[in-house]
């Protein structure tokens, strides 16, 4: 059993792993699966936005790259247009220097796109978005309208402060909900409407403070009531009052501990190891994966086949390895943000390319190295020499090191799943960004606990204030779109900074790891993302289905 080159932990390389590595002709990994995932995630800033100048046009822009980032940044509209020509930055490969050193210098010259916001309207203050309209501070959101502060919205509308909302409408502070309508504080629910404070409910409506319900109506704290009894009870609760909501959360905290959690979520899945898998076959140590087959060590990926070690991506990709946000690709290795391409390695932000190595920003190109054009014969003669050069330097088979990330570690998804302290990050030679929030240009700053307690008492003038988060003291502003939403849906003004609200929603996610534990009912040994020392009540599949259904 080898020891991880980064964390020194011993890790297993299975026979199936070795078969895959042999198939794609790469050496066995030197990092454990977690450190490999951490490394890939360190190249993803999914939520932080900055105001800065475009290094190409001089235009004031919004970008995922901070003003002091060491890479050049180009306004997305210019970068994705025919005006930007990445081939102008082509250079020769230098066999006297390690590849990663050369690539870092290359990254300093080729401008990166400020954002990925495609075919969307009134969505400049977002990232990783397509086919949307009128959204604000959302990320990884597609085919949505009127979304605010939501991470991973899909085919949804009018959802605010949500984490993974799919085919839903009018949701507030919800986590992993599908096909829900008019819900508040729903967690892991589907096909629910007109309800609040639910966990793991399916096909319910008009329910409050309940867990593990199936096709129920007029339930209050898991007690079946008549319609008249239910609405009389609900008259006692005022969603527009901040104090009422906080009292409900305290009650919900106790109810949440009584909820039954299924050991593993496996839907239409066979011969697989992992959690939160849908329509998967023969997948190993995969988490949050849909429509995949013969895959290993994937997180948050869909429609992959015969691939390993990927974070984010989809669209019928095959034979991909050590990738981040790679979609519709074949035989693509060690890449970031490569789409509709084949036989591409160690490249970033390339589209519709074939047989390219070490390139940035190319589209519709073949046989390129460091953005320099070669003939097919020249490319095929040079590439084996480069691979041998990388092997001699110990670089072949390794994803880009974290030192090459254009983001500070605490700006990235890696920090959410593998949190580090500033001194740990800097001692590893990685970059840390001091999170100093600029004070907005406002008439006044008001502590959150000094806000009027009911949304009906919030004046229009709040749009000219900054609110000081009651946990982090970071100031944040309210937009007109946001205020209108709170008023229309009778919701209290938030007291926490958007980043703190996102952080709290993350705490509800099922961890992407597996632990040994015993079923809380029958004591059978199970594998589950909930470790033995966690307070959740976890059942094996048989006991869960018996009790819930």
Interatomic CA distance for residues 177 and 111, integer angstroms: 38
Q: Which residues of 449-488 are buried (b: 16+ CB within 10 A; e: fewer)?
A: eebebbbeebeeebeebbbbbbeeebbbebeeebbebbee
pLDDT, mean of residues 188-198: 96
Q: Say how far residue 452 (Cα) sits from the centre of its chain.
A: 34
Interatomic CA distance for residues 296 and 173, integer angstroms: 32
- At 351-384, the pLDDT tens digits run 999 999 999 999 999 999 999 999 999 999 999 9
**Residue 442, pLDDT above cutoff 80:** no
Interatomic CA distance for residues 252 and 222, integer angstroms: 12
Q: Which residues contact 529 (CB under 8 A, 6 or more apart)?
A: 264, 275, 287, 510, 511, 512, 513, 514, 515
Q: Which residues contact 398 (CB under 8 A, 6 or more apart)?
A: 30, 31, 322, 334
pLDDT computed for residue 314 by the predictor? 84
pLDDT, mean of residues 49-71: 95
Interatomic CA distance for residues 314 and 304, integer angstroms: 6
Tokens of 431: 């970059």
pLDDT, mean of residues 100-113: 97
**Residue 264, pLDDT above cutoff 80:** yes
Work out the percent of the chain whose per-residue pLDDT is above 90. Answer: 94
Q: Which strand (E) or helix (H) includes residue 35?
A: helix 33-41
**Residue 437, pLDDT above cutoff 70:** no
Q: Residues in the chain, how many?
A: 549
pLDDT computed for residue 152 by the predictor? 94
H helices, E strands: number in the chain: 12, 33
**Residue 440, pLDDT above cutoff 80:** no
User: How does DSSP assign 43-75, residue by residue?
Assistant: T---S--EEEE-TTT--EEEESS-TT-SS-EE-
What's the chain's average pLDDT? 95
pTM for the model stands at 0.92
pLDDT, mean of residues 25-41: 96
Work out the percent of the chain whose per-residue pLDDT is above 70. Answer: 99
Residue whose structure tokens are 């104090």: 243
CA nearest 333: which of 387, 403, 389, 274? 387
**How many alpha carbons lie under 13 Å from residue 436 in its C-beta half-sphere?**
3
405 three-state secondary structure = coil
**Residue 491, pLDDT above cutoff 70:** yes
């Amino acid at each position: 059993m080898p020891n991880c080159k980064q964390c020194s932990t011993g890790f297993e390389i299975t026979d199936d792993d070795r078969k895959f590595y042999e198939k794609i002709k790469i050496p066995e990994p030197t990092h454990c699966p977690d450190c490999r995932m951490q490394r890939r995630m360190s190249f993803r800033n999914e939520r932080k936005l900055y105001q800065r100048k475009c290094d190409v046009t001089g235009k004031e822009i919004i970008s995922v790259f901070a003003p002091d980032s060491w890479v050049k940044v180009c306004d997305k509209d210019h970068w994705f247009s025919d005006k930007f020509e990445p081939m102008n930055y082509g250079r020769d490969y230098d066999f006297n220097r390690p590849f990663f050193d050369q690539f870092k210098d290359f990254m300093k010259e080729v401008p990166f796109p400020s954002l990925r916001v495609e075919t969307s309207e009134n969505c400049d203050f977002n990232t990783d978005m397509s086919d949307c309209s009128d959204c604000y501070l959302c990320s990884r959101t597609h085919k949505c309208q009127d979304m605010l502060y939501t991470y991973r919205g899909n085919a949804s509308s009018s959802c605010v402060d949500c984490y993974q909302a799919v085919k839903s409408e009018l949701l507030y502070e919800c986590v992993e909900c599908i096909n829900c309508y008019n819900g508040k504080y729903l967690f892991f629910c589907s096909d629910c409407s007109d309800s609040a404070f639910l966990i793991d409910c399916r096909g319910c409506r008009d329910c409050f403070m309940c867990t593990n319900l199936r096709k129920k109506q007029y339930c209050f704290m898991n007690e079946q009531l008549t319609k008249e009894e239910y609405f009389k009870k609900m008259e006692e609760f005022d969603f527009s009052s901040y104090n009422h909501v906080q009292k409900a959360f305290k009650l919900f905290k106790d109810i949440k501990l009584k909820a039954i959690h299924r050991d593993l979520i496996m839907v239409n899945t066979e011969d697989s190891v992992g959690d939160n898998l849908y329509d998967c076959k023969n997948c190993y140590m995969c988490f949050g994966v849909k429509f995949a087959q013969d895959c290993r060590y994937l997180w948050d990926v869909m429609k992959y086949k015969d691939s390993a070690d990927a974070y984010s991506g989809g669209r019928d990709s095959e034979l991909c390895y050590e990738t981040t946000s790679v979609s519709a690709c074949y035989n693509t290795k060690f890449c970031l943000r490569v789409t509709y391409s084949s036989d591409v390695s160690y490249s970033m932000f390339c589209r519709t390319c074939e047989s390219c190595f070490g390139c940035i920003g190319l589209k519709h190109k073949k046989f390129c190295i460091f953005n320099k054009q070669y003939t097919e014969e020249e490319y095929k003669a040079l590439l084996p020499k480069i691979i041998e050069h990388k092997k001699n330097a110990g670089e072949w088979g390794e994803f880009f090191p974290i030192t090459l990330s254009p983001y500070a570690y605490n700006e990235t998804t890696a920090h959410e799943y593998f949190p580090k302290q500033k001194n740990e990050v800097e001692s590893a030679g990685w970059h840390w960004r001091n999170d100093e929030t600029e004070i907005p240009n406002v008439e006044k700053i008001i502590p959150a606990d000094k806000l009027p307690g009911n949304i009906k008492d919030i004046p229009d003038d709040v749009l000219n204030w900054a609110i000081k988060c009651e946990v982090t003291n970071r100031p944040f502003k309210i937009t007109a779109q946001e205020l209108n939403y709170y008023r229309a849906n009778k919701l209290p003004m938030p007291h926490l900074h958007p980043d703190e609200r996102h952080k709290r929603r993350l705490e509800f996610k099922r961890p992407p790891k597996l632990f040994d534990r015993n079923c809380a009912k029958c004591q059978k040994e199970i594998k589950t993302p909930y470790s033995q020392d966690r307070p959740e009540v976890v059942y094996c599949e048989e006991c869960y289905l018996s009790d819930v259904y």
